[in-house]
């Protein structure tokens, strides 16, 4: 169910900072028409850190409504408090999400045993499948492969988004995990190689801009078509890098605004628009990749 090109969807906002639901609906249609395999609503790229719970769940609700069963919707439902992660998970289930993306608790630096307890409690709280999310560059704490292996024994913990960019770690996890455990890259720059080495897909920031090409890349890579996959990935390599010149989702929002897919590049404070030099840099990369003229 959760394989291929899954977009880490931005949350559109108007100039006043309010959620722009018409633009959200437009983005959902854009991805369905382009062949995207799944949507992550209100993950890191969707500014989960700055949306209060009621607004967070309303964005998930609307994403589910707009998708209308045509594409799976995964709710970003992680938190550094186990009780808050459970609240988000249960509310996501109530509004119709197909799955949960639950990040390693950030800032408080839990032990590995604490991670096991946290994710088991989250998975016990709903009937939805849970994807673990390891992104130590943001959370500080790194969920070790051995910890993932323990958690894979829970019937509702079905997969992992790994954003370490470490292909050797993928091989370690493959040796520890059940064959049906879903392994998704959370790093666009190494996602192609991740899939060619046996990963099942990518939760992608780049897919916000070029969903059709990311869908073709993922289809080729997961089918073992290495020449085609690497050819497409090579065309997108500069884009993968440029989208992280400033902290995500600053650059993808600016890029989508320049493409006419967002009404504004507005972000919630403490995030702000990119520096002028970075605006110019990504626009040049977008032109080179044929995203804008």
Q: Which residues are annotated as a binding site for pyruvate?
A: 45, 203
Is 109 a catalytic site residue?
no
CA angle 250, 253, 258 (to 5 degrees): 125
Binding residues: 45, 203
Distance CA 262, CA 266 (A): 9
In what helix (H) or strand (E) does residue 268 lie, and over which residues does it extend? none
Distance CA 164, CA 40 (A): 19
Which of 122, 239, 146, 154 has its CA nearest to residue 189? 239
Q: Active-site residue among 33, 106, 121, 133?
A: 133
Q: Active-site residue among 3, 66, 161, 253?
A: 161
Cβ atoms within 10 A of the Cβ of 114, count?
15
In what helix (H) or strand (E) does residue 197 lie, and over which residues does it extend? none
Identify the three-state secondary structure at position 77.
Answer: coil
* CA 133 to chain centroid: 9
Q: What is the DSSP code string of 137-196?
A: HHHS----HHHHHHHTTSTTEEEEEE-S--HHHHHHHHHHS-TTSEEEE--HHHHHHHHH
Distance CA 56, CA 114 (A): 25
Is 171 a catalytic site residue?
no
Produce one character per residue of 184-210: b if its CB has 16 or more CB atoms within 10 Å, e if not: bbbbbbbbbbbbbbebbbbbbbbbbbb
Catalytic residues: 133, 161
């Amino acid at each position: 169910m959760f394989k291929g090109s899954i977009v880490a969807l931005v949350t559109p906002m108007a100039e006043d900072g309010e959620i722009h639901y018409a633009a959200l609906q437009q983005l959902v249609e854009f991805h369905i028409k382009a062949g995207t395999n799944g949507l992550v609503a209100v993950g890191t790229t969707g500014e989960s850190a700055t949306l209060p719970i009621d607004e967070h769940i309303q964005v998930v609700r609307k994403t589910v409504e707009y998708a209308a069963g045509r594409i799976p919707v995964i709710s970003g439902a992680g938190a550094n408090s186990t009780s808050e992660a459970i609240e988000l998970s249960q509310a996501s289930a109530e509004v119709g999400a197909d799955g949960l993306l639950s990040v390693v608790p950030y800032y408080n630096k839990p032990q590995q045993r604490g991670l096991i307890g946290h994710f088991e409690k989250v998975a016990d709280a709903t009937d939805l499948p849970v994807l673990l999310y390891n992104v130590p560059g943001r959370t500080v704490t790194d969920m070790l492969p051995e910890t993932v292996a323990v958690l894979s024994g829970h019937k509702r913990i079905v997969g992992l988004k790994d954003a370490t960019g470490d292909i050797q770690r993928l091989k370690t996890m493959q040796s520890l995990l059940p064959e049906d455990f879903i392994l998704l890259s959370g790093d666009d720059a190494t996602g192609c190689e991740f899939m060619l080495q046996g990963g099942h897909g990518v939760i992608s920031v780049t897919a916000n801009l070029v969903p059709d090409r990311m869908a073709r890349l993922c289809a080729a890579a997961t089918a073992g078509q290495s020449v085609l996959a690497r050819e497409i990935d090579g065309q997108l390599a500069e884009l993968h890098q440029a989208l992280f010149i400033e902290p995500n989702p600053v650059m993808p929002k600016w890029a989508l605004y320049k493409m006419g897919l967002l009404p504004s590049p507005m972000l919630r404070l403490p995030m702000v628009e990119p520096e002028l030099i970075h605006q110019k840099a990504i626009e040049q990369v977008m032109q080179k990749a044929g995203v804008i003229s």
